[in-house]
Amino acid sequence: MSFSGRNELVVALFQVEAETNKNRTNLRNEAFKKKNKLYSGNPNDIWKVDYMRNVSKLTIMIMLYAFYEFDGEFTKDELKMIKTYYKKHRYLIDQKDLAEIIDAAKSKMSIERFKRYMEEQDFKESIFLDAVKESYEISKKHKDYQLIVNNLEKKITI
């Protein structure tokens, strides 16, 4: 079954539940940072969180591009891959980032739009390459998506 309407995809993909207990959210956020070795008492280490947020955001964008390039629509399996990745990284992605992802999901993600997005966000090549690695991990059972990501990597890095 595929999702023909972009709005249906967006609603199904990013139904964010409002958490009423802010302390619980903060505790989860701290646990995530410690688990991923992002937590330190040094305020100068905030760049690690920003770097991982950018990698996570760009990974989702790469996967949206790959899914659209493959057959022009999103299937339930593709939606499940994105949702699984998003759930693991939801503590890094804030509401502004989520809005950008939703806008990308609503529109056709072409190579030109992807390049423009990277230029607007001023992403460096290292962030892109790390996002490509994560995209390979997400799509390791789907060689078609890996081929699309590989072609994207060649077009962007050349």
Tell whether pTM > 0.75: no
* Helix H or strand E segment including 3: strand 2-3
For residues 65-78, give the mean pLDDT.
Answer: 86
pLDDT-derived band at 56 (thresholds 50, 70, 90) equals very high
Helices 46-71 and 125-138 meet at what angle, rounded to 10? Answer: 60
Hey, where are the domains in the chain?
Answer: 2-157
Residues 6+ apart with CB under 8 A from 52: 36, 38, 89, 92
Per-residue pLDDT band at 17 (split at 50, 70, 90): very low
Mean of the per-residue pLDDT values of the chain: 78
116, pLDDT greater than 90? no
Of 106-110, 113-117, 138-142, 153-157, minimum mean pLDDT range: 106-110
Higher per-residue pLDDT: 78 or 4: 78
